[in-house]
Amino acid sequence: MSFLLRWEHHHFATFSEKLSEAAMRRLTSLGVDVRLGVAVQVIDEKGVVMGNERVRAKTVVWTAGVAPSPAGKWLGTVVDRAGRVRIQPDITVPEHADIFVIGDTASLDQDGHPLRGVAQVAMQQGKYPAMSIIRRVAGHSPLLPFRYFDKANLAVVGRNFAVLQSAGSQLSGFIGWLVWAFIHIQFLAEASLRFSVFLQWTWTYISGKRTARLIIRQRAND
């Protein structure tokens, strides 16, 4: 069985060049043929056409993301190229101080670059309107403009391998995977859930049996 992965350059831009190359090498070692900067032109019953090349495949998995929320149309306000609502530094819609928009429905630039539509951004943005509303009701002064604090970027690439980038720190391999597992468990809401997930992962690691199907090793071509 072989795998082909077509990936845009900007997907790797989250990480440094060093970590991106480490992830690429890991994928290659798992039998994945990674293609960058090649547009998919046709997907049919025979496979995929990329550029001038046809890749024959029985199964094609497309993970290009989803369409943005239609909130921009509802509000009749400015949206970015992806259709996300352009918001102000206080997380409100221009000319509508009583409307807050957060997460991947919102588009906000920081230091000249748009914030990514990921969970970490949404979680921090979610707290800001709540605090802002409380201060308004109490008659206090407004909050300082919202600013996202990037705690870390993590990505898992198969079993026992992850890449991590945080401030000046960069990790890849098994140590990065351990850090990812620890952070993932710590962010679970309930202590009982953290314990059960820890036991499940431990059993999965020892036994090699898992319910989720991940690429963990290369197999000979069928």
Q: Which amino acid is at 138?
A: A
Say which DSSP state 13 is in: T
Q: Report the C-alpha gap between 24 and 41 in whole angstroms.
A: 23
Q: Give 117's contacts (C-beta < 8 A, 6+ positions apart).
A: 84, 103, 104
pLDDT at 188: 73
Question: Which token pair is 195?
Answer: 């314990």
pLDDT of residue 129: 94
- Residue 65, pLDDT score: 67
DSSP category for residue 103: G
* Tokens 């059960």 -> residue: 196
| Cα angle value 58/60/66 (rounded, 5°) | 160
Q: How far apart are CA 18 and CA 22, in angstroms?
A: 6
Q: Enter the pTM of the model.
A: 0.62
- The pLDDT assigned to 135 comes to 94
So where are the chain's domains?
Answer: 3-64+152-207, 71-138
What residues of the chain score a pLDDT lower than 50?
A: 1-2, 6-12
Vertex 175, ends 153 and 179: CA angle to 5°? Answer: 50
Helix (H, G, I), strand (E, B) or coil at 204: helix
How many other CB atoms are there within 10 angstroms of residue 119's CB atom?
11
At 85 the pLDDT is 93
For residue 24, the model assigns a pLDDT of 87
Rounded to whole angstroms, the maximal C-alpha distance in the chain is: 69
pLDDT of residue 133: 94
